[in-house]
Structure 1
Amino acid sequence: MAPNPDYQSIQTHGIRPTSAVWSEAHKTKLWEHFVQTFATVQSRFPAPLDRFDVEGKDKMEQAVMGFIDRRVPITLVLPSFPFKSPNTIDKVLGKLPDRAEELAMERLENFCAQVEEVYSPGCKMVIFSDGRVFNDLLGVDLCDLYAFEDELKAMVRDAGYTHIYFDSLDNYVKNVADPIPEILERFNLMHMDFNARIKTEPAIRNTYCSFCKFLERDLALQWAGMSRSAVKRNCGKIAKQMMHRNVGFSALVDDSYPDALRISIHQYNNAGPKFGIHLIPQESGKPRTPWHSVICEDLDGTPHTVDHKDVDTSKYELIYKRGRKWGYVERPGCTPEEIKQW
């Protein structure tokens, strides 16, 4: 497959030529600054489950030093931001990005900017939307998916962010209307037996169970009135399809961004080559993503991530921004002037 021209432009954009020779000690300091900054967004399992310190850190250093040696922007690729949960009653405020995505974009931009404060060639974050991978399985229309993507890009542009780039599956297939078969065939992944892998591989089984749980909540409105056994059966069927497609999508991302540092919103043991991050505040011990959450913000600015159905409306007031429902802020002491600043 031909190199991704967008990736090549990311690698050269923002380079500041210099004739100075970087010593090994200086390059080591650049790496140390990067990994310390990455720790501010990284998700970690409790020891000894987490393998970053004993295994993953060396792999990350090898990837990052590849950029430092060439004096090009350190590039991270994050498959994420598909679309809002289809459950706009119990889980989210609507179909478009809101305060949750705003916080996530701010977090990613700040991370890259902090890296660039020390590493002058810079740091770039590529958001590779995975919405086309499974939108049909969740009943999400393409018009809603594209509206979500367009508004997310507009939010980044309006905020003046300069470190965030976007990519999508549509840029890599001939048949945009039905991209999955083309991707699976390209990487020889048409036939995979996930039934056997779920039974024999604990990591695959855990992923399958996690998918089933979130599908049950995401599709609760569509499956209202169905028996419990029918819901579980449908969850299992869709979860396996999602896992199969994700293998193909992951292969595409690796092929398109061969040198980039792979990060993920999913929890990993951080042994590498993928490393988990948090996009928004995490509470209740379970991973949270912006597209599955509503933000409630205290008077002191502390944000909380909850399901829409769990918002305490006696404490928090709904606010609007960009012409739509945006999030909640604590009521006492929140003047109309303060609300308008959102």
Structure 2
Amino acid sequence: MTMTPRPLSHEILNAILRIRRVDEKDASSTTPADEEEQIKAVQLPRIQRFIDAGEPIEFVLPAFPAKSPNPNKVLGRLPDLAERISLQSLDKLCADIKQLYAPGAYLTICSDGRVFGDVIGVDDADISAYQSAISKIIEQKYADHLKLYNLEDCALLNTPANNFDAMRRLMIERYAEPLDAIKHKLLNSPDGTHLYRAISRFMFEDNLTPTYTGSRSALQKKAKLMAVEVIQRSWAWGDLLAQAFPDAIRLSIHPQAASSSKIGIHMMPAQNAWVTPWHGVAVDMGDRIELMSRKAAQLSGAHLVMQDDQPSHYAIAPSRFTQNPMAQAV
């Protein structure tokens, strides 16, 4: 029996869904088949518009903000092997689509560290250094498919260069809802409550540093307030990006509902669906590279691996990245 070829838009969507990030703790009652149909209904028409116009598929991904300020989670302030592998994964997605569709694809990384750095306790100087390092990696290896876009690149915000506080303030004025409205919206939907709890946990963990001397209950209270503000800024950034990139396929580093306009993706295996390269470290397990917190890596018995005199990652066994000369291509 001859199989009918699948439309090109389906093949492109399948390439994206191969790296879809799913929250294993999601209590959703939908089946994988139901979810796939919901995703198709949202995404196929958007993909088809690019195909009909003969244009490259355009993606935007809010991500790569800055390293967590908690040294129990990360190796330092600058990108390491976790970011390099993740950028390689995003480049591969675009390259895979190029094999299916001649115009190809490109992805704009919308770095959101500047958006909420003042809330999470990361200095603008650290954010600038992190963004500069990410930009150099892209320019050296992935410029054909990847681009970097920061708050200061946004022409919609007419503010003096390097006046980051003014940029944030203007973004909030133009695109953000009040904090009370954000909290009400979060707590009145299952998905919103799940997001609120997850970000609250992130804020608690990020601020539970070795130098913290307060009580856990006080930090939990602070983390909940921070979570609402981070979500407010993130949603405002998303609305700004929707205006700046109106036709782009929207990706996310967090799990997303099947009916969402965004598709959650993972860039490398991780201990859970919420850990990211900037909240963890890469650990060479011998047969795979996995993301986890620095503390978890140390407790597992992994040893630190250096590259170019900088902390790079951890390894359970002798690391392939110190033995294989092709490692520098990552």
Q: TM-score range by the shorter chain?
A: 0.7 to 0.9
AA in 1 matched with 2:291: T
**Counterpart in the other structure of 1:32:** 10
**Counterpart in the other structure of 1:76:** 59
Contact 1:319 1:339 in 2 (8 A): no
Instruction: Provide the identity percentage.
Output: 26
**Counterpart in the other structure of 1:227:** 215
**How far is 1:181 from its partner?**
2.3
| Distance in 1 of aligned mates of 2:284 and 2:223 | 33
| Distance in 2 of aligned mates of 1:337 and 1:191 | 51
**Counterpart in the other structure of 2:225:** 237
Unaligned runs of 5+ in 1: 1-24
Alignment of 1:185-334 (within 5 A): 185-187=173-175, 189-190=177-178, 192-221=180-209, 224-283=212-271, 285-300=272-287, 302-312=288-298, 315-332=301-318
Deviations 1:119-167, CA, capped at 9 Å, x for gaps? 1111001100111111011111111101101111111222254100111
1:147 aligns with 2:129: yes
Greater CA deviation, 242-251 or 220-229? Answer: 220-229
**How far is 1:322 from its partner?**
4.2
- Measured at CA, do residues 213 and 160 of structure 1 come closer, stay the same or move farther in structure 2, by a change above 3 Å? closer
| Distance in 1 of aligned mates of 2:114 and 2:79 | 17
- Does the residue aligned with 2:164 lie in a helix, a strand or coil? coil
- RMSD (CA atoms): 2.5
TM-score, normalised by the number of residues in structure 1? 0.84
| Distance in 2 of aligned mates of 1:336 and 1:203 | 42
AA in 2 matched with 1:307: S
Contact 2:58 2:106 in 1 (8 A): yes
| Distance in 2 of aligned mates of 1:314 and 1:30 | 44
1:184 to 172, 180, 191: 172
- Measured at CA, do residues 309 and 187 of structure 1 come closer, stay the same or move farther in structure 2, by a change above 3 Å? closer
**How far is 1:329 from its partner?**
2.8
- Does the residue aligned with 1:296 lie in a helix, a strand or coil? strand
Unaligned runs of 5+ in 2: none
Greater CA deviation, 137-146 or 185-194? Answer: 185-194
Contact 1:73 1:122 in 2 (8 A): yes
Alignment of 1:11-50 (within 5 A): 29-45=7-23, 48=30
Deviations 1:54-91, CA, capped at 9 Å, x for gaps? 32212210000010000011001001110011112x10
- Does the residue aligned with 2:148 lie in a helix, a strand or coil? strand
